[in-house]
Chain A
Amino acid sequence: GAVVSQHPSWVICKSGTSVKIECRSLDFQATTMFWYRQFPKQSLMLMATSNEGSKATYEQGVEKDKFLINHASLTLSTLTVTSAHPEDSSFYICSASNPGHNYEQYFGPGTRLTVT
């Protein structure tokens, strides 16, 4: 099946710093990617839809100035958590939708962010 990678797989940063997470679709072109957040023992919540070549669409309650999304190519979307705080500590998962395969979503392995 299709593969989506994320980097890094885990990161620890100090409060106030910014962290960038990369999501790559390795074997298909993804005009649309999605970013989810998962808190411990909770399900995945959609944060934003990343659109190649245009601005991301954010879900209600997600601060667009805090979670910067860039989708500069058909295989790469990045999520930057700016001025991170401990409450931003979470598991961030991206997915890419493959229109050539019935819009099946392929999920990355996730990035564990811990803000100290």
Chain B
Amino acid sequence: SQTIHQWPATLVQPVGSPLSLECTVEGTSNPNLYWYRQAAGRGLQLLFYSVGIGQISSEVPQNLSASRPQDRQFILSSKKLLLSDSGFYLCAWSVASWGYYEQYFGPGTRLTVT
């Protein structure tokens, strides 16, 4: 069966510090990978998605970047965190099934920028 891991689970970082969040998927090959952010009391915001190694698409201009160095690894980074980067960061994966896409989420990383 497929599993998705995210770490760390929680993170408190000062403004201006760098960020690296990691997501890995097991049990599937060539998944589509996604990074979402969920701000407190708000909905999901898609940040990045990737259809393959080295292929990253950004949905919104922002202070963050993403990379996919391996098939089942997705990394979210920032060189200098802003207060507005606080939130619940979720990684998700999907594969094509009969033309539609269900997305399966990881446990999330709760980031607080102080």
Q: Do A and B bind each other?
A: no
Query: B residues engaging A (CB < 8 A)?
Result: none
